[in-house]
Amino acid sequence: MSELEHTRRRWIVPGVAVALVAALGFGIWYFVFRDDAPPAVDLESATQSVTTDPARSSGGASLIAGTWTVDISVGDLAAGTASFVGYRVQEELASIGAKTAVGRTPGVEGSLMIDGTTITEVSIVADLTALTSDSSRRDETLRDQAIQTGQFPDATFVLTEPIELGAVPTEGEPITAEAVGTLTIHGVTRPVTIDLEAQLTKGVIVVTGQLPIVFADYDIDTPTSFAVLSIEDNGIMELQLFFAQA
């Protein structure tokens, strides 16, 4: 072997080894440690899900006033662009590490009523038996543990105080509001205040919101599993809803 070939091999072999280690490290990160949970709800992203429909209309108070119902035909749940109610919880999994568990149900029904510049009524029911995450094992566990969807299939929110908007919503203008009402989960009803963002877009009222929840407040025990090392005692309820005029 010539001196040149020997020198070249001395550089190539370590280089290949470094490349293999880097590739292995990336593979471990991508398949094991990477947290690929869907992003949290975001009003701007949600409004992009609304397409133009000639049957819809938007405009002044005379067109905004009235009853609006949840429209499940808008968007695609798999892409995170449909109406849903869900949870976001931090968990520690054996052999994997920290993960953000996200589950969402498209089974949402409800309505809101607008009178002038005031939202006078809101009622939402979410079918928790349809909660789906990236783990069927997790989804099955929730039937008998934690929120026990087999025994308590629905979560409900009812507005108890009118929401004063201050002005009639206009097309494309985002607004923020607080929805004061009662939330029922796991058979327990408690008063809550949900921070909301909303926007009238192409004849659809788009609403997103988040609410921190302490499980003990709703008599929810954290689930146990051989694959789960720990789960935080609190989480986030998130919602993304599209309302069309009834």
82 and 26 part of one domain: no
Residue 179 contacts residue 158 (beta carbons within 8 Å): no
Check whether 215 has a pLDDT greater than 80. yes
Q: Are both 158 and 48 inside the same structural domain? A: yes
Q: Are residues 122 and 169 in the same domain?
A: yes
Indicate if 15 and 67 belong to the same structural domain: no
Segments in the chain forming alpha helices (H): 3-28, 43-47, 61-64, 136-144
* Residue 233 and residue 167 share a domain: yes
pLDDT over 70 at 33, yes or no: no
224 in the same domain as 150 = yes
What's residue 62's pLDDT?
53
* Tally of domains in the chain: 2
Q: Which amino acid, 43? A: L
Residues 89 and 24 grouped into a single domain: no
% residues pLDDT > 90 (the chain): 61
In this structure, the answer to whether residues 100 and 133 fall within a common structural domain is yes
One domain for residues 108 and 207: yes
117 with 168, same domain?
yes
For residue range 10-31, list pLDDT tens digits in order.
Answer: 555 555 444 444 444 333 333 4
Q: What kind and span of H or E run contains 166? A: none
More confident residue, 24 or 223: 223
- 3-class secondary-structure state, position 181: strand
Task: State whether 5 and 54 are in the same domain.
Answer: no
User: In angstroms, rounded to a whole number, what is the distance separating the alpha carbons of residues 151 and 144?
Assistant: 8
Over residues 174-202, the mean pLDDT reads: 97
Indicate the DSSP class of residue 74. Answer: S
Q: Same domain, yes or no, for 91 and 213?
A: yes
Residue 2's pLDDT is 60
pLDDT of 135 higher than 50 = yes
Identify the residue with better confidence: 54 or 64: 64
Percent of all residues in the chain with a pLDDT value above 70, rounded to a whole number: 78
- More confident position, 79 or 9: 79
> 53 Cβ partners below 8 Å, 6+ apart?
202, 203
- Provide the pLDDT confidence category of residue 32 given band limits of 50, 70 and 90: very low
Q: Are 167 and 175 in contact (CB under 8 A)?
A: no
| pLDDT value of residue 56 | 67
For position 24, what pLDDT does the model report? 41
Domain containing 128 equals 38-245
- Provide the whole-model pTM: 0.81
What CATH number has the domain bearing residue 214?
A: 2.40.128.110
> Tens of pLDDT along 79-96?
778 999 999 999 876 656
Residue 220 in this model has a pLDDT that exceeds 80:
yes
**Residue 60, φ and ψ in degrees, nearest 5:** -80, -170
Least confidently predicted of 51-55, 82-86, 120-124, 215-219: 51-55
Evaluated on CA atoms 182, 185, 188, 190, the torsion sign reads negative
Q: How far is CA 214 from CA 20, 223, 232, 234, in A?
A: 45, 14, 9, 4
Higher-pLDDT residue of 212 and 19 is: 212
